C-alpha cells in the first residue's frame, strides 16, 4: 500500500510518502523545493519535482471543519492558495524577497510570463482579479468546506498523474501525537502519554493522548478562544489564546 500524508497547504506545507510493502519512505517540505522559507503554497512543487507512481491513499491532518476559530480556513484558504500560486507563476520568485516586488518589477515579470506563454499568463492573471473569490464561491455553492478542500486536493494530484482511491482527514493534534508516539522508542513497548502544543489546529492549541500499542485515548485538550483586546489592532491570527501563538509573538 502506498500512502501520502500531507500538510497540503499553509505554513510549512509538506509531504510524507510510505510504501508499506517495500518500506520505502520519503519526506519533503515545499520550501526545500521552492527555496521560499515557510512556503505556504500547496505541495504541487514537490509533486512536480519528485514524480510518484500509483498512490492508494492520501491522509491530511485537518479534522474539524466546523471549529469556530477555523472559519477562515475553509474556502478562503483554498482561494488564497490558488491566487498565491498564480502570482508566483507570473513573477517566478527564487527567494522570499522576490515575493514583494516593486510595481515596476511586478509588471516586468508579468510581461515576461505573457511573452513566454500568453494563455497560461492570462489564466493566472484572471485568478488575481478582484472578483475571483466571488466567482469561485459561486461555482462551489452548496459544497461543504471539506468537499471544496478535497476537490482542490484531487485536482492538484490529478495534474501530477495521481488519482488516490480516497483522501482521508485526521485530527490535527492526533496527527502530531501519533507521529511522536509511533516514531519513538516507546512504540508498542510501553503505555505512553503524548502531549501536543501548537499554534492552532482543529480549534485547539493542545491535546493529550494516551497510547498503548495500536490504541489511543484522548485524555485532555485545550481549546482556542478569541482574546478581547479593548480595541487594540492585533493581527487576527495572533488574537487567540494559544501557547504556540504566544511563543511565536515573542520569537
Q: What is the mean pLDDT of residues 221-249?
A: 67
pTM attached to this predicted model = 0.83
For 98-123, the pLDDT digits (tens) are 999 999 999 999 999 999 999 999 99
Q: How high is the mean pLDDT of the chain?
A: 88
For 199-234, the pLDDT digits (tens) are 777 778 889 999 999 999 999 998 877 665 555 544
* Torsions phi, psi for 120 (to 5 deg): -65, -40
pLDDT reading at 96 higher than 60: yes
Q: What is the largest CA-CA distance in the chain?
A: 62
pLDDT value for 135 = 97
Residues 6+ positions from 234 with CB-CB distance below 8 Å: 227
Confidence of residue 85 (pLDDT cuts 50, 70, 90): very high
Q: Where are the beta strands (DSSP E) in 72-188?
A: 166-170
Q: Select the more confidently predicted residue: 70 or 15.
A: 15
For 121-166, the pLDDT digits (tens) are 999 999 999 999 999 999 999 998 889 999 999 999 999 999 999 9
pLDDT reading at 72 higher than 60: no
Amino acid at each position: 500500500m502506498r500512502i501520502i500524508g500531507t500538510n497540503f497547504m499553509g505554513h510549512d506545507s509538506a509531504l510524507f510518502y510510505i510504501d508499506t510493502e517495500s518500506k520505502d519512505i520519503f519526506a519533503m517540505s515545499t520550501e526545500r523545493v521552492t527555496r521560499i522559507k515557510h512556503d505556504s503554497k500547496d505541495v504541487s512543487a514537490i509533486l512536480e519535482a519528485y514524480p510518484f507512481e500509483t498512490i492508494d491513499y492520501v491522509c491530511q491532518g485537518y479534522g474539524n471543519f466546523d471549529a469556530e476559530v477555523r472559519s477562515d480556513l475553509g474556502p478562503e484558504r483554498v482561494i488564497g492558495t490558488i491566487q498565491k500560486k498564480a502570482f508566483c507563476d507570473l513573477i517566478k520568485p527564487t527567494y522570499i524577497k522576490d515575493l514583494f516586488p516593486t510595481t515596476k518589477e511586478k509588471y516586468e515579470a508579468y510581461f515576461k510570463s505573457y511573452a513566454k506563454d500568453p494563455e497560461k499568463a492570462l489564466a493566472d492573471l484572471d485568478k488575481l482579479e478582484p472578483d475571483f473569490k466571488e466567482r469561485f464561491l459561486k461555482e462551489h455553492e452548496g459544497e461543504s468546506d471539506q468537499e471544496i478542500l478535497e476537490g482542490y486536493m484531487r485536482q492538484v494530484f490529478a495534474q501530477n498523474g495521481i488519482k488516490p482511491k480516497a483522501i482521508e482527514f485526521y485530527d490535527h493534534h492526533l496527527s502530531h501525537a501519533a507521529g511522536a508516539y509511533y516514531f519513538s522508542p516507546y512504540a508498542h513497548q510501553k503505555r505512553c502519554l503524548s502531549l501536543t502544543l501548537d499554534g492552532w489546529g482543529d480549534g485547539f492549541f493542545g491535546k493529550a493522548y494516551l497510547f498503548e500499542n495500536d490504541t489511543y485515548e484522548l485524555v485532555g485538550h485545550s481549546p482556542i478562544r478569541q482574546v478581547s483586546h479593548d480595541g487594540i489592532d492585533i493581527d487576527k491570527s495572533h488574537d487567540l489564546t494559544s501557547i504556540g501563538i504566544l511563543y511565536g509573538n515573542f520569537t
